């Protein structure tokens, strides 16, 4: 949906109140912050409830919107607390929540229907099909994946029903957001839970910073973004300083207002604020083979320190007042904005006949103009006073009148009634109904699948082959593994491949993205949910059931106990994909002749296999296998098994199947791990 205004909203980050002031002063139309919990930047300072309430007041007084991020995956025992927090934010007057968990979205749409929701980039929306489905779930705005080209941004914006938001400037994750398990599987810190340890910033393969992307800057493409129709342009940086926020926001404010792209000097100022050896716009230009990687050098850090000179004391908003103090009547104070039509009125104590020194006009105005610890500024000359002669009021009464007027003027909250409480969803049952499809297998290499015998294949109810290779193994597989990422300009090609696979006998589609649901249903395939849907609670499971997904594999980040409590499938074998990258690092670092034979080697010598994904994207797999054949009694609540085959030979696949039939120990060479555990055996 193309925006209605002439310019897109400029959305700035704030990790603390000083940064929020910097964002507002820099010219942001909206600011996004995180609370102390449920935010994808767990290590930012973030805002407690009182600070969020103050942030709403400060932003709204300056005509700026405030969004709060609740964009992590939630465990089942956290949902009630998260919904209660969202209700608190609604009462405070927060303009929208940025969300990622399907279960939370489902709950919020029912329990707080008037609260605006924006689909986080963590939801991996990369085409109009996914954007429309997110819209149908209740998200009025969708934050598009950072990897979209300018052409695809414009196409999605023109075709989808939701508003679109795109990242304009700041750090880039090398993996598609919402699809990274590297930090979680290797370091025990989940990026999907806001705890990313940034393994992509570390050296690999003999000290090379292969995965460290330079920061994004679209300063040279502002006019294209204006013309694209996007509703919001987002600056990344809730971990950054107030100086950074102000510098970047103010530069983009000027570019938007003047409908132009940046100059060399403005680019240099952006680099001084923060860069990793410069910037990249490769995704936007659709050129992922040019220079995109970089590290933060000492020179970069020194340049940022030299520019850090700002003072970001909150700016007061000038107001005026009308005051009545008349004998025998309740006192009255009306505060109203100079540049806005906001106006509030409060009433206080009655004035009495003065026994000695009556109130004077100057004394009353002086007392009522002391705005103290507020965001308001009221000059005595801006107070219009009706004062009866010979009357008096206590200092406490005048202070209370002023204080209540200021508090009311600064309050932008909403009322909460019992009607909203009555909208709560019924508690879903702990488990789904029994699913006849107990075991599924995903083969990332068709050549391995093609050489397997029937006895091995019979172990699985559904066998998924890569969409691009289905025709070669149609007699072995009954399902298609859809590409995890499908850009807008790839939909037609993918649909043709799906249609061919359907004609050749495919019955099932592995669903790892919202757009996949639409494609599977369009071609009459049964949609089975992949772990990429990030199901970490029963409400997410039911959200997917609501849109037609037949069964689901839970998140690979769950423990055995958590997975069993949801009652769906779980990964019991295989190298779990840790990253999917838009950039082809195999071509960049190893050469096309090594495609599918590359490994990423860390500082400890641990090797992570890499494979090509659809359209030259890369998959990076865990070094260790997940293995549960001899521990199935530990996951009794799990309703089905998910196998992933990547680098195995056909003989190794047969050995794995035999081990599962016998409940035997790990049968292959190499290291393995247990479900939900980082420790490698």
Question: CA-CA distance, 44 to 404, in Å (whole number)?
Answer: 34
Query: How much is the pLDDT for 430?
Result: 43
Pairing, β 551-552 against β 598-601: unpaired
Question: CA-CA distance, 441 to 479, in Å (whole number)?
Answer: 10
Closest CA to 180 of 638, 630, 619, 483: 619
pTM exceeding the 0.85 threshold for the entire prediction: yes
HSE at residue 560, side-chain half, CA atoms within 13 A, is 16
Among 37-51, 260-274, 301-315, the range with the most confident prediction by mean pLDDT is 260-274
Mean pLDDT in the chain?
94
SS3 376: strand
The residues that bridge with 119 in the sheet, in sequence order, are 99, 142
Contact status, residue 201 vs residue 239, Cβ threshold 8 Å = no
The residues that bridge with 98 in the sheet, in sequence order, are 69, 118
Who's near 343: CB < 8 A, 6+ residues apart?
A: 334, 335, 336, 337
Question: CA-CA distance, 354 to 161, in Å (whole number)?
Answer: 66
Pick the CATH number of 439-576+624-673 from 3.30.60.50, 3.20.20.380, 3.20.20.70, 1.10.10.10: 3.20.20.380
- Among the ranges given (137-151, 404-418, 531-545), the one the predictor scored with the smallest mean pLDDT: 404-418
Question: CA-CA distance, 154 to 156, in Å (whole number)?
Answer: 6
Edge to edge, the sheet with strand 508-511 lists: 551-552, 526-529, 508-511, 479-481, 462-466, 439-443, 640-645, 569-574, 625-627, 672-673
**Is the pLDDT assigned to residue 435 strictly greater than 90?**
no
Question: 91: buried, middle or exposed (CB in 10 Å: 19+, 13-18, 0-12)?
Answer: middle
> What are the tens digits of pLDDT across the range 633-665?
999 889 899 999 999 999 999 999 999 999 999
Contact status, residue 139 vs residue 105, Cβ threshold 8 Å = yes
First to last CA, the chain: 51
Question: 547: buried, middle or exposed (CB in 10 Å: 19+, 13-18, 0-12)?
Answer: middle
Average pLDDT over residues 669-675: 94
Question: CA-CA distance, 102 to 87, in Å (whole number)?
Answer: 17
Contact status, residue 546 vs residue 621, Cβ threshold 8 Å = no
Question: What's the token pair of residue 608?
Answer: 């992570």
| Reported confidence tier of residue 159, pLDDT bands at 50, 70, 90 | very high
H-run or E-run covering 419 = helix 418-421
Question: CA-CA distance, 355 to 346, in Å (whole number)?
Answer: 26
Question: CA-CA distance, 97 to 74, in Å (whole number)?
Answer: 15
> What are the tens digits of pLDDT across the range 110-134?
999 999 999 999 999 999 999 999 9
Query: How much is the pLDDT for 255?
Result: 98
H-run or E-run covering 89 = helix 79-92
**Is the pLDDT assigned to residue 304 strictly greater than 90?**
no
Who's near 413: CB < 8 A, 6+ residues apart?
A: 53, 56, 91, 92, 93
Helix then strand count (H, E) for the chain reads 23, 30
H-run or E-run covering 26 = helix 17-26
Query: How much is the pLDDT for 433?
Result: 45
> Domain-by-domain residue ranges, the chain?
9-172+213-306, 317-410, 439-576+624-673
- Residue 197 CB coordination number (10 Å): 17
**Is the pLDDT assigned to residue 364 strictly greater than 70?**
yes
Give the rounded distance of the alpha carbon of 139 from its chain centre.
13
Query: How much is the pLDDT for 429?
Result: 47
Percent of the chain with pLDDT over 70: 96
**Is the pLDDT assigned to residue 33 strictly greater than 50?**
yes
CATH number of 9-172+213-306: 3.20.20.380
Who's near 128: CB < 8 A, 6+ residues apart?
A: 155, 156, 159, 160, 488
Question: 395: buried, middle or exposed (CB in 10 Å: 19+, 13-18, 0-12)?
Answer: exposed
- Residue 449 CB coordination number (10 Å): 25
> What are the tens digits of pLDDT across the range 580-637?
999 999 998 999 999 989 999 999 999 999 999 999 999 999 999 999 999 999 998 8
């Amino acid at each position: 949906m193309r925006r209605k205004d002439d310019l897109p909203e400029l959305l700035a980050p704030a990790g603390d109140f000083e940064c929020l002031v910097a964002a507002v002063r820099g010219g942001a139309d909206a600011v996004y912050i995180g609370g102390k919990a449920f935010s994808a930047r767990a290590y930012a300072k973030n805002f407690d409830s009182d600070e969020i309430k103050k942030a709403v007041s400060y932003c709204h007084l300056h005509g700026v919107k405030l969004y709060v991020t609740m964009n992590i995956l939630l465990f089942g025992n956290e949902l009630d607390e998260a919904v209660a927090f969202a209700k608190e934010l609604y009462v405070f007057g927060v303009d929208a929540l940025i969300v990622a968990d399907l279960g939370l979205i489902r709950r919020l749409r029912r329990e707080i229907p008037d609260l605006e929701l924006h689909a986080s980039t963590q939801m991996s929306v990369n085409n109009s099909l996914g954007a429309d489905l997110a819209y149908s779930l209740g998200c009025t705005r969708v934050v598009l994946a950072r990897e979209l080209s300018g052409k695809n941004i414009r196409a999605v914006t023109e075709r989808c029903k939701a508003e679109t938001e795109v990242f304009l400037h700041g750090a880039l994750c090398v993996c598609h957001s919402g699809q990274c398990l590297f930090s979680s599987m290797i370091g025990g810190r989940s990026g999907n839970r806001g705890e990313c340890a940034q393994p992509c910033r570390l050296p690999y393969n003999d000290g090379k910073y292969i995965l460290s992307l330079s920061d994004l800057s679209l300063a040279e493409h502002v006019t294209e973004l204006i013309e694209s129709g996007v509703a919001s342009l987002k600056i990344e940086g809730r971990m950054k300083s107030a100086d950074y926020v102000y510098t970047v926001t103010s530069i983009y404010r000027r570019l938007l207002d003047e409908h132009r792209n940046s100059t060399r000097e403005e680019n240099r100022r952006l680099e001084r604020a923060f860069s990793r050896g410069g910037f990249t716009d490769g995704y936007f230009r659709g050129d992922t083979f040019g220079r995109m990687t970089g590290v933060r050098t000492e020179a970069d850090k020194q340049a940022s320190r030299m520019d850090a000179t700002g003072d970001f004391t909150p700016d007061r908003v000038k107001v005026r007042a009308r005051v009545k103090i008349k004998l025998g009547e309740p006192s009255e104070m009306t505060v109203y904005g100079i540049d806005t039509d906001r106006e509030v009125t409060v009433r206080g104590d009655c004035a009495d006949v003065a026994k000695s020194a009556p109130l004077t006009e100057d004394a009353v105005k002086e007392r009522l103009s002391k705005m103290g610890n507020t965001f308001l500024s009221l000059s005595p000359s801006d107070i219009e006073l009706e004062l009866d002669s010979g009357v008096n009021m206590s200092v406490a009464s005048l202070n209370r009148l002023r204080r209540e007027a200021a508090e009311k003027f600064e309050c932008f909250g909403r009322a909460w009634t019992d009607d909203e409480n009555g909208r709560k969803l019924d508690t879903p049952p702990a488990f789904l109904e029994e699913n006849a499809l107990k075991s599924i297998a995903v083969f990332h290499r068709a050549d391995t699948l093609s050489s397997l015998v029937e006895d091995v294949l019979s172990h699985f109810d559904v066998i998924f082959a890569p969409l691009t290779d289905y025709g070669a193994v149609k007699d072995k597989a009954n399902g298609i593994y859809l590409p995890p990422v499908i850009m807008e300009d790839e939909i037609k090609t993918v649909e043709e491949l799906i249609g061919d696979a359907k004609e050749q006998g495919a019955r099932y589609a592995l669903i790892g993205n919202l757009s996949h649901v639409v494609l599977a249903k369009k071609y009459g395939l049964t949609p089975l949910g992949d772990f990429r849907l990030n199901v970490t609670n029963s409400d997410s499971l039911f959200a997917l059931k609501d849109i037609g997904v037949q069964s689901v594999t839970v998140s690979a980040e769950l423990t055995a106990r958590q997975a069993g409590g949801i009652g769906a499938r779980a990964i019991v074998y295989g190298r779990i994909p840790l990253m999917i990258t838009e950039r082809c690092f195999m071509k960049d670092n190893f050469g096309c002749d090594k495609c599918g034979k590359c490994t990423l080697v860390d500082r400890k010598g641990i090797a992570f296999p890499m494979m090509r994904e659809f359209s030259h994207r890369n998959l990076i797999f865990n070094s260790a296998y997940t293995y549960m054949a001899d521990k199935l009694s530990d996951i009794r609540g799990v309703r089905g098994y998910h196998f992933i085959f990547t680098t195995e030979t056909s003989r190794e696949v047969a050995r794995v199947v035999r081990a599962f039939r016998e409940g035997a120990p790990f049968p292959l060479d190499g290291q393995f791990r247990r479900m939900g555990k980082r420790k490698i055996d």
